[in-house]
Amino acid sequence: MKTPIEVFAPAKINLTLHVTGLRSDGYHLLDSLVGFADVGDRVILEPASKLSLRVTGPMAEGVPEDARNLCWRAAQAFGATVAITLEKHLPAAAGIGGGSSDAAAVLRGLQQMYDAPVPFDPMDLGADLPVCMLARAARMSGVGEQVAPADLPPLHAVLANPRVAVPTSAVFKALPGKNNPPMAALPAFSSARDSLRWLQDQRNDLEAPAISLQPVIEELLKQLSFLEGQWLTRMSGSGATCFALFETAGQAELGARDLRANNPDWWIEHCELT
């Protein structure tokens, strides 16, 4: 067994998020094209006599170090005794799957460490777990349990969070219409430009309800729309993180620099999505 094991937990970006219905248990039916970024958290796993968790890194503040943390719950449900170090780079409660991606990274690392499959349904830890286990572009449907890998040309993005936490359940609750049209059929994209054109016509149905709870999201989307070279701006998941998409890495890097200059307190990163 090679130790310690280090696993990258990428930011999950809902490039589209169509809410198409409501299940009798209160969970919403989703149709979403999901991409993963080359920015994210880092999980380090070391064998130990008991389960422990230490949260470090620039975004560690306020992230629980006990059973409230999805990393802890993932390791516990796996039956693993490991010392987990979670290096937080992503904001929490931000619509980019921080907790879910961390938990999926723990499960991937434990599979490797114990040379054993995950002994439970990852969905038990949250609706975003199945897509985060895959950690590559996918179409997600059902309430999150159906995940089909998708071919997405690499896209360049600016991710921005105005540092307000938005609880997922509150945003779903604030959505008035539950039965919205699904995403269009996913074409075989021939280029980044082709996919950007297609994405322009899709939606995130949670954008308006999230704005009703945190109006700063509207201002954030406006500022992203001013960035040179952007093809579209949208919110990810239940917010408050929003993104602008670009054709080139250089445009995204300049976009992030310009946005930072006007909003020094926001969390802003440029990245590649795959």
Closest by alpha carbon to 45, among 1, 85, 98? 85
CB of 113 to ligand SUD, least distance (A): 24
- The secondary element (H helix, E strand) that includes residue 75 is helix 70-78
Q: Which residue has the tokens 């070391």?
A: 46
With beta carbons less than 8 A apart as the criterion, state whether 183 and 16 touch: yes
Among 80, 92, 129, 273, binds ligand ADP (CB under 6 A): 92
Residue 64 binding result from ligand SUD, ligand ADP, none, given CB thresholds of 5 to 8 Å by partner type: ligand ADP
109 is in an annotated binding site: no
Omega before 4 within 30 of 0, i.e. cis: yes
Minimum distance of ligand ADP from residue 125's CB (angstroms)? 10
Is the bond leading into 261 cis (omega within 30 degrees of zero)? no
3-state SS of 37-50 is: EEEEEEEEEEECCC
* Nearest distance from C-beta of residue 194 to ligand ADP, angstroms: 29
Does 91 interact with ligand SUD (rule: CB under 6 A)? no
**CB distance 255 to 229 below 8 Å:** yes
Q: How far is the CB of 102 from ligand SUD (least distance, A)?
A: 12
d(CA 51, CA 72): 8
Contacting ligand SUD within 24-83 (CB under 6 A): 27-28, 30, 32
Binding segment for ligand SUD among 78-86, 126-134, 179-187, 194-202 (CB under 6 A)?
Answer: 126-134
Q: Which of 88, 128, 173, 194 is catalytic?
A: 128
Q: Which stretch binds ligand SUD (CB under 6 A): 46-54, 125-133, 223-231, 242-250?
A: 125-133
Check binding of 10 to ligand SUD (CB under 6 A).
no
Nearer to ligand ADP (CB atom), residue 83 or residue 186: 83
Please name the amino acid found at residue 92: A
Task: Determine if residue 92 is labeled as part of a ligand binding site.
Answer: yes
Flag whether 91 is marked binding: yes
The reply on whether position 34 binds ligand ADP by CB under 6 A is no
Q: What is the DSSP letter of 25?
A: T
- Position 97 contacts ligand ADP (CB under 6 A): yes
The only residue of 13, 15, 29, 71 in contact with ligand ADP, by rule CB under 6 A = 71
88 flagged as catalytic: no
Nearer to ligand SUD, 90 or 196 (CB): 90
Instruction: Give the length of the chain.
Output: 274
Residue 183 is a binding residue for ligand SUD (CB under 6 A): no
CB of 242 to ligand SUD, least distance (A): 12
For residue 161, give the H/E element and its range: strand 155-161
**CB atoms inside a 10 Å sphere around CB 89:** 17
For 258, phi and psi rounded to 5 degrees? Answer: -65, -40
Asked if residue 255 belongs to a known ligand binding site, the reply is no
* Helices (H) then strands (E): counts for the chain: 8, 11
CB closer to ligand SUD, 143 vs 158 = 143
Residues labelled as active-site residues: 12, 128
